[in-house]
Amino acid sequence: MGFAEDLIACLEQALAGQPVPRVRALHLPPPEAATSKNGEFCALELDDGALGLSYVLLGNALARLLGSDDPKSIVGMDALQLAREFAAPAGAGGDVELRRMLGFAAANALSRTVMERMGFAPPRASDSIGGIAPRMGEHIGMVGLFTPLLKQVTAAGARLTVIELNPERVGEYEGYRVTLDAGELEACDKVLSTSTILLNHTVDAILGHCRHARRIVLIGPSAGCLPEPLFARGVTMVGGSWVTDRTGFIDALLRGVSWSGFAYKFALSAADWPGLPRA
């Protein structure tokens, strides 16, 4: 099975015999915020208060959601039923990309529900690059161009190769190189990846090129899912956002302003994770 199917299977296992929350609301940033980092994510809220984040700028998803009935039609829906749409096959009918995105947000929200029921909260991150600790002479792979993090990698004297989808960014730059060829990750000692690879269903292909890496770190606000399927695929650290003030977070998101004061960045390794309770 692929990552999406494995994640849904983990959620089904964790929720077996327990009440499944329903969708309370989908919170979207205002369209004018789409040009800033404050307009990149939506938050799907469940009736138990759990929030699940998802990136909304792939394929102009935010504008499409604002112009569709989806935000209203999913209210009251069984959250696990919606989460299953994350694993919908291509060509399943309707706006599959939007439904997959909503399913991903639901999967993240249900993951928060499961963790809350376990009494688990992930540890705070000690840095912004998942403890990847680049060193002189190492070859670091970066999936997605994290512009604010470039200096943290190159200043250590590490060689940096960035894998991008945008052909306009390809080229040689001071201290790093940008390519479209994910196969170049095969030669990397460590890999730092955006969590967007979960949403766009490229995670299995990308991680398949990272089998020689000693450390694989996946970070981003939407990396809030149950970590088992990622650890099983070789990811060593998952970094996401853990909401601590739901009301403040939702208010900031709806106004298109920074919500960093209402959540903390976490870094979760396999050693930190107790594993799902056994039935």
In this prediction, residue 207 has a pLDDT band, given cuts at 50, 70 and 90, of very high
Q: Say what the pLDDT of residue 106 is.
A: 98
Across the chain, mean pLDDT equals: 93
Q: Report yes or no: 113 and 48 within 8 Å, Cβ to Cβ.
A: yes
Predicted confidence (pLDDT) at residue 268 exceeds the cutoff of 60: yes
The reported pTM is 0.94
- If pLDDT is split at 50, 70 and 90, which confidence band does 217 have? very high
C-alpha separations of 21 from 1, 29, 76, 87, 196 in Å: 26, 23, 9, 19, 25
What residue spans in the chain does CATH classification 3.30.390.100 cover? 3-122+244-259
Residue 96 has pLDDT above 90, yes or no: no
Q: Which of 47, 257, 57 has the alpha carbon at shortest distance from 165?
A: 57
> 176 has which bridge partners?
160, 173
Start-end ranges of CATH 3.40.50.11590 in the chain? 139-237
Gap between the terminal Cα atoms of the chain? 22
CATH topology of domain 139-237: Rossmann fold (3.40.50)
Q: Under CATH, which architecture does the 3-122+244-259 domain have?
A: 2-Layer Sandwich (3.30)
Contact between 161 and 139 (Cβ < 8 Å): yes
